[in-house]
A and B are shown apart, each in its own frame.
Chain A
Amino acid sequence: MYNLIRAELFKLRKDRSFRVLLLITAVLSLAYPLLYYMDNKSGGKPQFTGAEFLVKFMFSNGYVIKFSIAALAGFFIASEYTTGAMKIIASSGNDRGRLYAAKLVGFSAGVMLISLIFPLLSMAEVSILSGFGQLPEGVDPFFIPRVLGLTLLYTAGYAAIGVLFTAVFTESGKTISFLMIFFLMIDMVLGGLGEYIPFLTTVYNYSVFKLLGDIGKIQLDSGELPVLLLVPLLTIGVAGLLGILVYRKKEIK
């Protein structure tokens, strides 16, 4: 298993789409706060501090996570089916369950890295420009590590869903378009259907789709943190097992 993960990480390191995504995310993460900085300066408005910026704009990272998972799933994993590389992987004499798990780990590691770029880089840039400042009144002192930890966990949860659908579609174009639409529409779909089927509202409220928006909450009520921790872990488990089932039954073309 260790070797399989090493192989996946090696591929990830060499993957051009991964490098491009890293670069684009880094550039955007630097440009976004810079535009705010210049706008506020010319308008004479007070500048954000690094801490304030993180608290206020953490939710934007959700889009980065969703977009990078869709793009990387298509370019990094699904392209292995298209180029035929998956044939040599599937026939390497390794159990398909292990191959899938290793792929999930490698892929998750990649998108987890991307998911940290925006919060860390933009916070660092704003801190250089206007100082780190202090977290707003009433904010939990563990806010930053908690937010970053939950970002990693939710990214892994989304990644598990991404890899599952990649195993179903196996084509780059289909995978990217489906995942983009799925991640952008799922809130609306579950929310809308929940009006007619109340059970779906409960499902939505306890899903990574809804809770991703809650990880940047300044104050968590008692009982919220365990839910925030359990839901992505369960998502990884369920999506991972489903993915293994799909991949085991998949004929590789």
Chain B
Amino acid sequence: MSEYVLQTNQLSKRFKGSVALDKVNLSIRKGSIYGFIGQNGAGKSTLMRIVTGLAFPSDGTIELFGASAERELTQARKRMGLIIEGPSLFPHMTASENLEVNRLLRGIPGRDCVSRMLELVGLQGTGRKKVKNFSLGMKQRLGLAIAMLSDPEFLILDEPTNGLDPMSVIEMRELLKRLNQERGLTILISSHILSELHLLASHYGIIHHGKLLEQLTAQELHDKCQHYVHIKADHPDRAAMVIQSVLGTSDFEVMPDGVIKLYGYREQPGKVSSALFSAGLTIEEFMPMGEDLESYYMKRIGGGGDV
């Protein structure tokens, strides 16, 4: 048995005059939560759509649960749940009717899974209310219930927290974490909220203009994120001179608000503070900091943009 749930090999997708995916080699390890990061139009949804069988690749192959032939892939997709570009729902039906249609589609025996899933996502009290009258957050939760209906081994979630209120975002994160830990569920998730992904993902993939720039684990990301000491002194210019002359380093930045980011001294904060004190400077803020996923991502794609 392969240790990977999903692998793509030189996967490409071209539309008229544009390349949506360019020779992407992506690997998702069994039991991982894979955070898929990229700007709008970077190719995240296209890749997810190909994996779920909604779109077809122009070149390259995918291997899902070890299956790569078309017929086997169709079968393998039974082991998968998904939310792609928003939950796919029947608006004129109730929550339980939506689940019932999907139960029949997937040939799941017994109706108890319907009430179980409604309970799992906290929609058991919606009764005869039609889905078209649901809030966006309720629709997202119902989408997740449908995705989880067949007890999948692999979950593909494209922006699952879109439209959720802060409390629901936290609940969704905790639910996904629990499913991952308790059932060993593998999750491929994309989100615009990188801080949210940072709290959830065990692996990351960064895609930009259809190219997969990098895949890394959470530990590798942590190691790669630059760490620094955040310093705010009463005289930033003098503080910068002291750092340069006393500590002998020019690996720092003075930010427009006067904050100094000193790289490389995170493990020796005492040395820094005593140098500044000795020079008669008053330190207003002093703390070791690390870059987060967002700043790492921005650096990796080489500039700004809408994530």
Contacts and interface: CB of A to CB of B under 8 A. Distances in A.
Contacts of B52: 87, 91
22 contacts: A6-B104, A7-B101, A10-B101, A11-B101, A14-B92, A83-B89, A83-B90, A84-B89, A85-B88, A85-B89, A85-B90, A87-B54, A87-B85, A88-B82, A88-B105, A91-B54, A92-B78, A92-B102, A93-B78, A93-B79, A93-B80, A249-B56
B122 interface: no
Interface residues of B, number: 34
Interface in A88-128: 88-95
A72 to B, nearest CB: 14
Given A91-B77, A95-B71, A252-B54, 8 more contacts: A3-B107, A14-B93, A86-B88, A88-B82, A93-B77, A252-B49, A252-B55, A253-B54
Contact of B104 (A7, A93, A249, A251): A7
B92 A15 contact: yes
A84 B106 CA distance: 17
A15 B49 CA distance: 27
Contacts of A11: 90, 101
Given A84-B88, A87-B54, A4 B105 contact: yes
Interface string A224-253: 000000000000000000000000010111
B88 A88 contact: yes
A41 interface: no
Contact of A84 (B77, B85, B93): B85
A253 B88 CA distance: 11
A251 B54 contact: yes
B250 interface: no
B46 to A, nearest CB: 10
Contacts, number: 84
Contact of B97 (A14, A80, A85, A89): A14
A92 B77 contact: yes
B298 to A, nearest CB: 30
Contacts of B71: 95
B91 interface: yes
B92 A88 contact: no
Interface of B: 49, 52-56, 71, 74-80, 82, 84-93, 97, 100-102, 104-107, 146
Q: How large is the interface on A (under 10, 10 to 19, 20 to 34, 35 or more residues)?
A: 20 to 34
Interface in A195-233: none
A56 interface: no
Binding site secondary structure of chain A: helix
A225 B107 CA distance: 40
Which interface residue of B56, B74, B97, B146 has the most chain A CB atoms within 10 A?
B74
Contacts of A6: 104
Contacts of A249: 56
Contacts of A14: 90, 92-93, 97
A94 B102 CA distance: 12
A90 B53 contact: yes
A146 interface: no
A250 B93 CA distance: 26
Contact of A88 (B74, B79, B97, B146): B146
Given A88-B146, A89-B105, A94 B90 contact: no
A84 B75 CA distance: 22
Nearest to A99: B105
B41 to A, nearest CB: 15
A182 to B, nearest CB: 27
Nearest to A89: B105
A7 B89 CA distance: 14
A91 B91 CA distance: 19
Given A11-B90, A84-B85, A90 B102 contact: no
Contact of A3 (B55, B78, B79, B105): B105
Given A93-B77, A95-B74, A251-B54, A87 B84 contact: yes
4 nearest A-B pairs in the assembled complex, by CB-CB distance:
A93-B78, A7-B104, A88-B88, A93-B77
Contacts of B89: 83-85
A251 B55 contact: yes
A177 B247 CA distance: 77
